[in-house]
Amino acid sequence: MTFEIINSNVLTTRAIKKESIDLIVTSPPYNVDIAYNSNDDDLSYEDYLTFTKKWLSRCFRWLKSDGRFCLNIPLDKNKGGQRPVGADITKIATDIGFQYHSTIVWNEGNISRRTAWGSWLKASAPYVIAPVELIVVLYKEEWKKTSGSGISDIQKDEFLEWTNGLWTFTGEKKSRVGHPAPFPIELPRRCIKLLSYIDDVVLDPFMGSGTTLLAASENHRNSIGIEIDADYCQLAKERLRQMSLFLERDNPS
């Protein structure tokens, strides 16, 4: 299996060929003022949606006609005002040309982030905060996959569990990975095994610490990651190197 790390901007890179990608799995910046090294995560909401339209349009061109897209985004946000982020981004994607398939609700089982209730014990202005995120499943033209090796590696128990649109597993710790907003490897692993074939090409246009590439490599897919920050690219390379050493030790020739 091959992996490629591209230290570039998703909006300007020319390193991805048109209609060359089987599956995109990514979690873009949420615009909640996370302290990334090389990205402004505190745009106005209008500018954030404009940015979203630009990068989604590029992904649309990169996907094969039967390509799929797993988009991990918030359900909503309340920082700077209540916003239906999931609905707005899904609408942008379908306006671009993506076909909508379904939405997986990811229950992180993490309610510790609830730090505000609005009007405490009063009906005047309470906050309702759902401790979940979305994985919006989109495709380009045809849902039925006809390209690729045709070889699936998903197990029966995995298929039965993962085709239920409520996924429950814990999030990833920033301190363990060394990135301010990592997602757990379980998220791309499920998307990759459920929605792609062995030897397919998986892209993460916001690679971060390289978790999608790790999941792809572990499951015999080729992968490409785009990341604007050179330090995060180096972090991803090191994580992939460590995984390769582990796999070599676990499967000696």
Are the C-beta atoms of residues 23 and 197 closer than 8 Å to each other? no
Taking residues 75-86, report their average pLDDT.
83
Burial of 51 (0-12, 13-18, 19+ CB in 10 A): middle
Mean pLDDT score, 6-14: 96
The string of pLDDT tens digits covering residues 93-145 is: 999 999 999 999 999 876 555 556 778 889 998 888 888 999 999 999 999 99
Work out whether strand 166-168 and strand 63-74 pair parallel, antiparallel, or are unpaired. unpaired
Indicate the range of 2-6, 60-64, 65-69 predicted with least confidence.
Answer: 2-6
Question: Rounded to 5 degrees, what are φ and ψ at 59?
Answer: -60, -35
Q: Is residue 77 part of a domain?
A: yes
Euclidean distance between CA atoms 10 and 75, whole angstroms: 23
Residue 211 lies in a domain: yes
- Percent of the chain at pLDDT above 70? 85
Q: Tell me, what's the pLDDT at 120?
A: 84
Establish if 118 belongs to a structural domain: no
Instruction: Give a yes or no: residue 28 inside a domain.
Output: yes
Query: Is pLDDT at 191 greater than 70 in this prediction?
Result: yes
Residue 120 lies in a domain: no
Task: Choose from 110-114, 211-215, 243-247 the range with maximum mean pLDDT.
Answer: 211-215
First to last CA, the chain: 16
The tokens of 153 are what?
A: 């590696």
Of all residues in the chain, what percent carry a pLDDT higher than 90? 68
Q: Give the tens place of pLDDT for each residue, 218-242.
A: 999 999 999 999 999 999 999 998 8
Cβ-count burial 73-94 (b if 16+ within 10 Å, e if not): bbbbbeeeeebebbebbbebbe
Residue-level pLDDT at 90: 98
Question: Residue 95's domain spans which residues?
Answer: 3-113+125-250
Mean pLDDT of all residues in the chain?
88
Q: Is residue 35 part of a domain?
A: yes
Whether the Cβ atoms of residue 187 and residue 132 lie closer than 8 Å to each other: no
Where residue 18 falls (left for φ over 0; alpha for ψ -120 to 50; beta otherwise) is beta
Instruction: Report residue 248's pLDDT band, with 50, 70 and 90 as the boundaries.
Output: very low
Q: What is the C-alpha to C-alpha distance for residues 69 and 196, in angstroms, rounded to an integer?
A: 10
Q: DSSP string of 33-77?
A: ----SS------HHHHHHHHHHHHHHHHHHEEEEEEEEEEEES-B
Round to whole Å and give the CA distance between 103 and 165: 7
User: How many structural domains is the chain composed of?
Assistant: 1
Query: What is the domain-level CATH number for residue 226?
Result: 3.40.50.150
User: How do residues 151-190 score in pLDDT, each as one tens digit?
Assistant: 999 999 999 999 999 999 987 665 566 566 678 999 999 9
Evaluate whether residue 119 is within a structural domain.
no
DSSP state of 118: B
pLDDT score at 253: 42
